[in-house]
Structure 1
Amino acid sequence: MAQHFDVIVVGGGISGAALFYELSKYTNVKKVALIEKYHALSTLNSKGTSNSQTIHSGDIETNYTYEKASKVKPNADMIVNYAKLVKAENKFMFSHQKMALAVGEEECAFMQKRYEEFKELYPYIRKFDKAEIKKIEPKVIEALGGGDRPEEIFAMGALENDCYTTVDFGKMSESLAEEAMKANPDNQIFFNEEIVNIYKKGDTFYLISANKTEFSANFVVVNAGAHSLYLAHKMGYGLDYACLPVAGSFYLTKKHLLNGKVYMVQNPKLPFAALHGDPDILCDMNTRFGPTALVLPKLERYHGLKSLPEFFTTLRLDGTTIKILLDLMKDSTIRNYILRNFLFEVPYLNKSLFVKDARKIVPSLTTDDITYAKGFGGVRPQVLNKTEKKLMLGEASIVPQNQGIIFNMTPSPGATSCMGNALRDLRMVVDYLKLEFNEELFNKELRGE
């Protein structure tokens, strides 16, 4: 006999935990289950070592347009408001200084213009000239042979305590799940349950087959990273999408080279995050550099070849997929970037090549300062839209109309957007199941209204 729930959330990362919490705290749903395939929450991409631990609010992410930043900022604010609500300051949420660094005349002109455009959206934002950067981030100025770096540089950002910047999303996932259980003791969390199939039974509910248990639910939300698309394909949904998993690796130092987060100007031709340096909250605040971007034929990292067959299933390799990939490789900037990032994974070559790029942030960096961070980094499900014949950026969702099921794929900055994405899904669940939503309490606690 299948265990029945009003709503089942598949995937115990930060996105699944956020929805589990919001449904439990702010609606009158009777029973919600959170189902996780591994032994604990957030063992994959939401784990603190798998991401940059950053609240991506859009102030120093130079690939964000003003329009995108305006949409991302309220989601980032909800992360901060939740952490304050549960008194998680300096537990899983921290404040560091941060800046977007421009190097050279062209980048500096771009950053000056960006500062003027964005300063009203982010009232705390400051601009830093070379002398000010030298005071707050001396290693950004110090040249390899001593003295100051010769280039023109400029930055926009924030000082410590201006705003919250850093979150251990793994610990936040645990907090969200704990608070969800407090809000509704009838909820349940299941570990070591890998979903094999989801079937629609009639017009009213779904049957969910896991490796050990059968479940049923009136509404299902799949927040399982790249596996969301894998499960959608099994049901015949989202066949116009394919998945290109991109892994991000990091390099660690044994020093506090940077006092805060230093991001570089994004290359507009590249769909992946620019290299940045961050104080790692799990490594005594030593500086961590990354991420690299490596296409891997697997949906999960550090689990051997277990997800290799699932990769080929979600890639859906055909003429259209090949065309999208070839179009990406035709651009010499993208092609050289992909090759260079592959070499970042090759022992002996990797450190010397990586240091050359990281010196744009810390000019005095040497190969002796860094080590390849083994076991760090995750896999981001970059989605290929086969109808539009292009690589999609940001989140992708498959929402079959009036079917009571949602599949979410959330590459970076999915963690920052988790509360906002959960609200979007919550509204669909509420409408479909005719539930009540205490929006007034939600706005007071999470939106600060």
Structure 2
Amino acid sequence: MNELPVVVIGAGPQGLAAAAHLTERGIAVTVVERGDEPAAAVSEWGHVRLFSSWPELTDTAARRLLEPTGWTAPHSGYPTGAEWVAGYLDPLARVFGDRVVYSTTVTGVARKGRDLMVDSGRKGQPFIVHTRDTQGAEGRISARAVIDASGTWTLPNPAGADGLPALGERAAVAASRISYRIPEDVSACAGQHLVVIGAGHSAVHAVLRLSELARRTPGTRVTWLLRRGTTGNVLGGGAGDELPERAALGTRARKVIEAGVVEVVTGFRVAEFHDEAAGLRIVAENGKEVDGVSRVFALTGFRPDVSILSEMRIDLDASLEAVAGIAEEINPNVHSCGSIGATGARDLTQPEPDFFIVGAKSYGRAPTFLALTGFEQVRSVAAHLAGDHAGAERNELVLPDTGVCGGSGDFDGAGSSCCAAPVIQLEPTRVAVG
């Protein structure tokens, strides 16, 4: 078994960091990436600027691997997703060469010769990672351990307030009326009625981008629909946030709202979409309506895709779909990302020995993930797999104070939830990469 590699699913920030820590400890590793380049998901939002600075976006073992190649760690500034890839993730992936397998999707993980029900001899069997490439060719990779760092990017939450697509939502998506991504080029939207749904940083980014279009193009209307009854938890952690770029998002959003560039509708929980001659008519559960809508940007977070783990014995929290061992610690009703401590191998352990879910996927639907917490996770997991149990137990995570609360404890009320001051509601598109 020890002669087999550890298979890492996903060549994103946490997957590549896991590979760096494993390599540094002399453990063979194979990284499987669905995209044709490293960090394909990050590249899809490459036009968005991160609210974390460069020192918070690079892993320690990765830096140690990169520095002998002549790479120099950026010391300041806030990169876009594309700059993060070009300046760090792509050079890191090149260090691993053909140990990163691109254009290959993991379709399932199992124990050799054992389905989910079988106990006998299970722990002694290697993992079998089933794959399919872009040509449809199927493959199997044997592994001593598996680290699932595949993230949540491929499974955005729907606009429907009950967690399922609203009536008419699928048809509106098919008609290109609804997008689940932050828009890049919005020029084609000039003169239209545009709606943003969501309360996290992705939604704030979209609102600001569309507000710029509205300022320079008469007739462009921007409406921001919030499920909450107040904007208090959306518009900023202010001086309490030690990530100034994140605090600035809320400040800028407040200004465009006060200037009348953006209309905010609170307490709007989407139930139905109706595609009519004048545009989409959006109906809330309480009967409120917004009509004449040309495009909707539904930025309501993400959830993990666990379909590839149907033959793995895993333990996920019933409400968050997070790894059960860390669910209480990361519960967004209680914690902001700044109040969350380190989560290591002990917390991430699954009923299936030597199988770990890390990164944004380990947080499930909880929107409080930061890149730094993921780097600490994979450092600890790599130590565990190397037999360095003291190293696995050690806490090397240092987070800035955020002044930000991800809680929904006051979902219906007018006050803030678990923090003393009004704060921004965190949401995975930003936090997953911050």
- State the TM bucket, normalised to the shorter chain: 0.3 to 0.5
Report which structure shows greater RCO (CA 8 Å, sep ≥6): 1
TM-score scaled by structure 1? Answer: 0.41
Q: Hey, which of these two has a bigger chunk of strand by percent? A: 1
